[in-house]
Amino acid sequence: MFEDYIFPGLIILLQSVALLVALLVFTAFILYADRKVWAAVMSRRGPNVVGPFGLLQSFADLLKFVIKEPIIPSGSNKGIFLLAPLISSALALAGWAVIPVSEGWAIASINVGILFVFAVSSLEVYGVIMAGWASNSKYPFLGALRSAAQMVSYEVSIGFVIVTVLLCVGSLNMTDIVLSQKDGLGTHLGLTNSLLDWHWLGLFPMFVIFFISALAETNRPPFDLVEAESELVAGHMIEYSSTPYLLFMLGEYIAILLMCALTVILFLGGWLPPLDIAPFNWIPGVFWFIFKLCMVFFMFAMVKTIVPRYRYDQLMRLGWKVFLPISLFMVIATAAFLKFTGLA
Amino acid sequence: MLLTGLGAAFFYLFAFVAIASAVMVISARNPVHSVLYLILTFFNAAALFILTGAEFLGMILLVVYIGAVAVLFLFVVMMLDVDFASMKRGALDYAPIGAMVGIVLASELLIVLGAQFIGVGQPGSVASPTPDPLTRTNTAALGDIIYTDYIFFFQIAGMVLLVAMIGAIVLTLRPTRPGVKRQNMGKQVARKVEDSIDVVDVETGKGL
Amino acid sequence: MTVVELTQSLNIAAPELALAVGSMVLLMIGVFAPKDSANSTVTGLAVALLIGVLGWMVFFDEQGTAFGGAFVQDAFAYFFKILTLVGSIVALVMSVGFAREEKFDRFEFPILIILATLGMMLMISATSLLSLYMALELQSLALYVIAAINRDSARSTEAGLKYFVLGALSSGMMLYGISLVYGFTGHVGFTEIAAALTGQERSVGLLFGLAFLLTGLAFKISAVPFHMWTPDVYEGAPTPVTAFFAAAPKMAAMAMLVRVVTDAFGTVTGDWQQIIIFISIASMALGAVAAIGQNNIKRLMAYSSIGHMGYALVGLAAGTVAGVQGVLVYMAIYLAMTLGTFAFILAMRRKDEGNVESINDLAGYAQNNPLQATVLTILMFSLAGIPPLAGFWGKWYVFLAAVEAGLYPLAIIGVVASVVGAFYYLRIIKIMWFDEPESKFVSAAGELRLVMGLSGIFVVGFIVFGGPIAAYAENAAKALF
């Protein structure tokens, strides 16, 4: 009994807690980084009061949110109102269960890992919808309406992008996806196990589409119409305060990190070093993973600062009339290429 | 395959929640709650799929049914603002008919189950078993046959979806009303400075 | 399935393949053609495509089973596919004038007709419960949309919705039946089911499955007691759509019903025969009695088609080659008569009122247009089954098969029902010839007159060229046994 169930159970629990803590701390600094980047582009200082260089700003915010009084509107549907932020953050965290941060460093290395992440990210829309409906107010509901259409639309192209990558890999396991990137275009060019082997080069259009769709899927600017402050005040989060609001913010940022991690795994070689030579391959894979994650997040942050928000019809046009045909074509083209060159 | 230990515990957990939430779907007063319970039922069904080793099906159920279909379903229910309480008031009148249909279907299920246990009318042959999950993942096993042996059905399914798509567009897309201005992206992008701005030297006091 | 098998399969299914690919090409043409000419371009090309496929079916005789036994192209399938294609082509051609007059110009309409036809052809060829169900859904889904295609008309929308809800219910029942059959035989292929059923004791579950399966199929041919949707849908849908509904889908559904019971359940004739006999009697009786009170000619045609399905089923109930041959001949004749009658209904058009649908509007048709009135009179006589017109020969074949199979009561009830049913056809003739003239109809479009003429010639001339058709039908029927 002990050896069969309790001991493995405890190990999984410990691993989960360790990942959770690491992730939350990481998120705190990512939030800080986001604000700093944003401020720097605008020639402001950004958070600089709490702690050295304002490094502890996120923790101060956390404390502030937690000790505030949660306000629940009287006309709201209380149960769903409180459930929404929980679902939002729990789902975002659940996605991390299958992400391998280094070889063998995943809590669950399941066969259909990529599908699991895709499923989790497609379920995230429920947090927004439930919040929008339960608030019983028109701005949140409009925000929820927009988000449902937006997230469902962009999932389609994300799905096709993932399919193209899977065609090249031949497995749905995240670790296999990373390991398959040891051998690719770069190897054919003579640079074995290098950054040229990763999928971003071979599938460059897909990489771009995935990056933009990831922005839309996580409601990041320039696609943050769900909470466009100039029209909807704060979208589905208007009526939220205190800890529930914190959970929404947390869920949002962890979902963003999840998408960054997915970008790293699908296109940027996961934990693999950029060149398989002396100083690079000494560094443990997990650092490469985190480094790449930060780089992708930096791109997310830069997009937020320099691209103006899309109008809703433009967003829908981009998703359905541009990305969908291109990604559909790329699926066919990639499959045909692999078939006729005999690579698959 | 008989589940034991932890597998059995999870099976009973998911099965219980699935049935309980299915009951809530029809008994909840608020239609939105009903849909949310329906989603919970789907979720548990997906979990049961995974438990039986059909991980691909389970995930597809999550992505397609919960992630897309149920979202739209939820939206329709949220926006319809139907007074379900008054609709339900008359529902009891139909209870006898409903019960009759239910009894017929249930008795048939019993017959089917009975045949399983008693052995009368057992299938003459059992469909070919699925490959061993250790040697071939069920995603790959599905791929092995769906594009070869079942290509015909796969393609008809595609045609059915095409018809559904055409139908949805035909029935909802109305011709644009006259006088509505639409953005033409191509035209906007193709616009040049020379086409839109004239630099004119205007003499003071004269005007154009 | 190897590549060679797949290529062979595609070769056998070439007509279906052409329709599938053609519909997608037409969709692209429709989307990118200029808006004002999209409908006429696509309609023209759609008719050309259907005629091309029909020609292919007539001149190339590529028979065999395909896709691992899920699809068969045999003489039976050829017979019904040709009927279905004729029904679709004529219905589409007849819609042209209507579309022009009623501003009913959606280019999706011909495409949906093609897709529905594709579904029907797949239904006719289905030799597995799986392909049968999927083909049926393809056809039904297209039909639901076509019924509701005139969005601005509340009746059309209602017709579509009603058809959809009841159709979905019947599909559900059929699927339940299929699952029971699969559960009790372990197979979905017709030949395997038939093999599993020989020589073993049949369980109650299988009977339940068969009953549910037949329920779903009876709904599709609108046989009593699953006919309730028919009058409302016929009345509500735009008239060219009604013409299409009365013609092509009936062919496919009847073909499917015949194939299922003779192919998959051919060894358990006794089990389904009584169900078919009941459905047949009920349909004939209701078709004869309920039509009497109708004043709307489309509703009347709905009851008429219910009755005709009952007569056709008499042949199936016999369960013999002669019986199935009777069904085939009957369906061919029904198709010709129905399309001809709907050409007249479409031509019932006044300058100030637009299309009219009441039977009393036909008053004085004989004075205003004696030639057309004569043709319509002949069609009505034929529908009533007056010798020596085609309708009589159709009934002759099915009743004869029933008598040969020893089903005397069924044949007698059928004759009585056709005598009763003759009343309302004769009433139309009386209104045309003896009632006070109303204002004239506008002169019928060329394509409508063509259809009227052709169906008139068919009905009158059947006594001459009926022999080859019957021989062809016998050949087709033998393919099943």
Residue C450 lies in a domain: yes
Q: Which residues of A touch B55 (CB under 8 A)?
A: 110-112
Whole-number Å distance between alpha carbons of B69 and B67: 7
Among the partner residues C67, C141, C180, nearest to B152 by beta-carbon distance: C67
Find the residue in B nearest to A84 (Cα).
B36
Whole-number Å distance between alpha carbons of A291 and A296: 9
- Distance, in angstroms, between B194 CA and closest chain C CA? 31
Q: Which residues of B touch A236 (CB under 8 A)?
A: none
Do the Cβ atoms of C359 and C431 come closer than 8 Å? Answer: yes
Whole-number Å distance between alpha carbons of A62 and C80: 73
Going through A134-279 in order, the beta strands assigned E by DSSP cover none
pLDDT above 70 (res B120) = no
Give the per-residue pLDDT at B121.
46
Give the per-residue pLDDT at C89.
93
CB contact under 8 A, C134 and B167: no
Whole-number Å distance between alpha carbons of A1 and A105: 26
Q: Which residue has the higher pLDDT, A211 or B137?
A: A211
Helix (H, G, I), strand (E, B) or coil at A100: coil
Among the partner residues A5, A115, A152, nearest to B71 by beta-carbon distance: A152
Residue C333 lies in a domain: yes
Whole-number Å distance between alpha carbons of A24 and C446: 77
Q: Which residues of B touch A141 (CB under 8 A)?
A: 78
Q: Which residues of C touch B123 (CB under 8 A)?
A: 183-187, 196
Whole-number Å distance between alpha carbons of B115 and B136: 33
Q: Which residues of B touch C137 (CB under 8 A)?
A: 160
Give the per-residue pLDDT at C363.
84
Among the partner residues B111, B163, B169, nearest to C141 by beta-carbon distance: B163
Do the Cβ atoms of C253 and C221 come closer than 8 Å? Answer: yes
Residue ranges of chain C with pLDDT lower than 50? none
- Distance, in angstroms, between C86 CA and closest chain B CA? 22
Token pair belonging to C19: 């329709």
Inform me whether the C-beta atom of residue C200 falls under 8 Å from chain B C-beta atoms.
yes
Among the listed ranges A18-27, B112-121, C166-175, C207-216, which one has the minimum average pLDDT value? B112-121
Closest of A126, A65, A103 to residue A255, by C-alpha: A126
Among the partner residues B112, B127, B157, nearest to C180 by beta-carbon distance: B112
Burial of C111 (0-12, 13-18, 19+ CB in 10 A): buried
CB contact under 8 A, A77 and B30: yes
**Which of C3, C138, C188, C198 has the highest number of chain B CBs within 10 A, making it the mutation to test binding with B?**
C138
pLDDT above 50 (res B124) = no
Give the per-residue pLDDT at C252.
92
Give the per-residue pLDDT at C255.
93
Q: Which residue has the tokens 């809530």?
A: B24
pLDDT above 60 (res A306) = yes
CB contact under 8 A, B66 and A159: no
Chain A residues near any Cβ of chain B (below 8 Å) = 4-5, 77, 80, 110-112, 115-116, 118-119, 122-123, 125-126, 129-130, 133, 141, 145, 148, 152, 155, 159, 172, 313-314, 317
Mean pLDDT throughout A234-250? 85
Residue C248 lies in a domain: no
Residue C202 lies in a domain: no
Number of H helices, E strands in chain A: 16, 0
Among the listed ranges A149-158, A223-232, B20-29, which one has the minimum average pLDDT value? A223-232
CB contact under 8 A, C118 and B157: no
Among the partner residues C20, C106, C195, nearest to B159 by beta-carbon distance: C20
Helix (H, G, I), strand (E, B) or coil at A172: coil
CB contact under 8 A, C138 and B156: yes
Among the partner residues A80, A145, A152, nearest to B68 by beta-carbon distance: A152
Q: Which residues of B touch A112 (CB under 8 A)?
A: 55-56, 59, 139
Closest of A178, A176, A170 to residue A263, by C-alpha: A178
- Quote the distance between the C-alpha of residue C208 and its chain's center: 27
Q: What is the DSSP string of B90-140?
A: GGGGGHHHHHHHHHHHHHHHHHHHHHHHH-TT--SSPPPPPPPTTTS-HHH
Among the partner residues B6, B32, B66, nearest to A133 by beta-carbon distance: B32
Length of chain B: 208
Whole-number Å distance between alpha carbons of C125 and C74: 8
Residue-wise burial string across C8-36, b where 16 or more C-beta atoms lie within 10 A, e elsewhere? bbeebbebbbbbbebbeebbebbeebeee
Mean pLDDT throughout A197-220? 87
Whole-number Å distance between alpha carbons of B113 and C180: 11
**Which of C141, C191, C192 has the highest number of chain B CBs within 10 A, making it the mutation to test binding with B?**
C141
Count Cα atoms within 13 angstroms, Cβ side, for A314.
13
Among the partner residues A5, A115, A314, nearest to B6 by beta-carbon distance: A5
Residue C29 lies in a domain: no
Residues 6+ away with beta carbon under 8 Å from B103: none
Do the Cβ atoms of C162 and C229 come closer than 8 Å? Answer: yes
The helix or strand, by DSSP H or E, that contains position C66, with its residue range, turns out to be strand C64-66
- Distance, in angstroms, between B194 CA and closest chain A CA? 25
Q: Which residues of B touch A319 (CB under 8 A)?
A: none
Whole-number Å distance between alpha carbons of A174 and A264: 11
Q: Which residue has the tokens 């069924």?
A: C410
Mean pLDDT of all residues in chain B?
A: 80
Closest of A261, A294, A275, A293 to residue A177, by C-alpha: A261
pLDDT above 60 (res B123) = no
CB contact under 8 A, B108 and C20: no
Whole-number Å distance between alpha carbons of C138 and C130: 12
Whole-number Å distance between alpha carbons of A189 and C450: 70
Q: Is the peptide bond before A221 cis (omega within 30 degrees of 0)?
A: no
- Alpha-carbon radius of gyration of chain C: 21
Give the per-residue pLDDT at C52.
93
Whole-number Å distance between alpha carbons of B12 and B19: 10
Among the partner residues B32, B59, B74, nearest to A115 by beta-carbon distance: B59
- Distance, in angstroms, between B207 CA and closest chain C CA? 46
Whole-number Å distance between alpha carbons of B107 and C38: 54
pLDDT above 60 (res B2) = no
Residues 6+ away with beta carbon under 8 Å from C374: C366
Inform me whether the C-beta atom of residue C184 falls under 8 Å from chain B C-beta atoms.
yes
Q: Where are the domains of chain A?
A: 72-341
Inform me whether the C-beta atom of residue C245 falls under 8 Å from chain B C-beta atoms.
no
Do the Cβ atoms of B115 and C203 come closer than 8 Å? Answer: yes
Interface present between C and B (3 or more CB pairs within 8 Å): yes
CB contact under 8 A, A115 and B63: yes
Q: Which residues of B touch A155 (CB under 8 A)?
A: 63, 67-68
Q: Which residue has the tokens 């205003």?
A: C368
> How many domains does chain C fold into?
1
Model confidence pLDDT, tens digit, residues A80-108: 888 999 998 998 888 888 888 888 777 87
Q: Which residue has the higher pLDDT, B140 or C234?
A: C234
Token pair belonging to B140: 């790959």
- Distance, in angstroms, between B195 CA and closest chain C CA? 28
The amino acid that residue C213 corresponds to is L
Angle at Cα A254 formed by Cα A248 and Cα A256, nearest 5°?
105
Among the partner residues B127, B156, B166, nearest to C122 by beta-carbon distance: B156
Residues 6+ away with beta carbon under 8 Å from B89: none
Contacts 24+ apart (CB under 8 A), B100-104: none
The helix or strand, by DSSP H or E, that contains position C6, with its residue range, turns out to be helix C3-12
Give the per-residue pLDDT at C330.
92
- Distance, in angstroms, between C131 CA and closest chain B CA? 6
Model confidence pLDDT, tens digit, residues A31-74: 899 989 989 998 998 888 888 888 888 888 888 888 988 888 88
Model confidence pLDDT, tens digit, residues A253-267: 999 999 999 999 999
Going through C207-350 in order, the beta strands assigned E by DSSP cover 349-350
Closest of C382, C379, C383 to residue C365, by C-alpha: C379
Find the residue in B nearest to C182 (Cα).
B123
Whole-number Å distance between alpha carbons of C466 and C462: 5
Q: In which band, very low, low, confident or very high, does the pLDDT at B114 lie, cut at 50, 70 and 90? A: low
Chain B residues near any Cβ of chain A (below 8 Å) = 5-6, 30, 32-33, 36, 39, 55-56, 59-60, 62-63, 66-68, 71-72, 74-75, 78, 137-139, 183, 185
pTM recorded for the entire structure: 0.86
Q: Which residue has the tokens 């002396």?
A: A278
Closest of A228, A83, A76 to residue A146, by C-alpha: A228
**Which of B6, B24, B56, B59 has the highest number of chain A CBs within 10 A, making it the mutation to test binding with A?**
B59
Domain membership of residue C365 as a residue range: 268-480
- Distance, in angstroms, between B79 CA and closest chain C CA? 20
Residue-wise burial string across B130-163, b where 16 or more C-beta atoms lie within 10 A, e elsewhere? eeeeeeebbbebbeeeeeeebbbbebbeebbebb
Whole-number Å distance between alpha carbons of C431 and C412: 30
pLDDT above 60 (res A192) = yes
Closest of C259, C318, C222, C321 to residue C78, by C-alpha: C259
Give the per-residue pLDDT at B122.
47
Interface present between A and C (3 or more CB pairs within 8 Å): no
Whole-number Å distance between alpha carbons of C128 and C151: 36
- Quote the distance between the C-alpha of residue C84 and its chain's center: 7
Among the partner residues B151, B152, B171, nearest to C151 by beta-carbon distance: B171
CB contact under 8 A, C185 and B123: yes
